[in-house]
Each structure stands twice: as structure tokens, then as C-alpha cells.
Copies of this chain bind each other. A is one copy, B any other.
Amino acid sequence: MSTQECCAALAAAPLAADQAVELASVFKALGDPVRLRLLSMIASTEGGEVCVCELTPAFDLSQPTISHHLKLLRQAGLVDCVRRGTWVHYRALPATLDRLATVLRTPVAS
């Protein structure tokens, strides 16, 4: 699917079933407070990369749970990760966020 076809907004035309399935899977990834905070921590970091070792202690959750949420964010195409020695660094993929924002933005004129 083209990432940014014209007038992809929800309010522009009824969404096709297959597009709805794909979009919903990304929104579902955002539908959890822990994942939203993780994504926000990653996306708002100055250098653009955050070590998992900084993310995990920010929550009152076990390490496997955080790892699980990071995996879902990865599968949704919202973040990416790189191994640097023993550590793994995550960074945001802004294209996916922008796409969602475009989909949600109400058309200017009616």
C-alpha cells in the first residue's frame, strides 16, 4: 500500500476493509498506556536513541513485560532497534506516526 496516498483521511471517504485492518493494528499498538509512554520516551529523546536499560526502570513492571511491549511497538512499525554491544537501543520511526496523524487529521474544507 502506498504510504501516503491522496486524501487518506478517515473523514475523507469510507475506509476500505483491508486498510482498516492494517491501520487498526497500528492503533492497537498505541492502545496501551505503557506502550504509549515507551514510545514517547523513545521519540522524545534528544539523540534519537534510547537504551532499553533506561526504559525498563522507568516502569513498575518486570523486564520481560517491557521487552514484550517493545516487541509490539516494533511489529507495529513504530520503533526500530539496534544492538550496540550488550545493549539494545531503540529509536522511533516518524513515518508511521506521521501517517497516522494524516489519517486522523480532519479535512480542512468540508
A106 at the interface (CB under 8 A from B): yes
Residues of A in contact with B (beta carbons under 8 Å apart) = 10-15, 17, 20-21, 23-25, 27-37, 39-41, 43-44, 92, 94, 97-98, 100-102, 104-106
A39 partner residues in chain B, CB cutoff 8 A: 10
Q: Which of these, B11, B21, B33, B101, contacts A44 with CB under 8 Å?
A: B11
Copies of this chain per assembly: 2
Known: A14-B41, A24-B32. 16 other contacts (CB 8 A): A10-B44, A11-B94, A13-B40, A14-B40, A15-B36, A15-B41, A20-B33, A20-B36, A20-B37, A24-B30, A27-B28, A28-B31, A29-B31, A43-B106, A97-B106, A98-B106
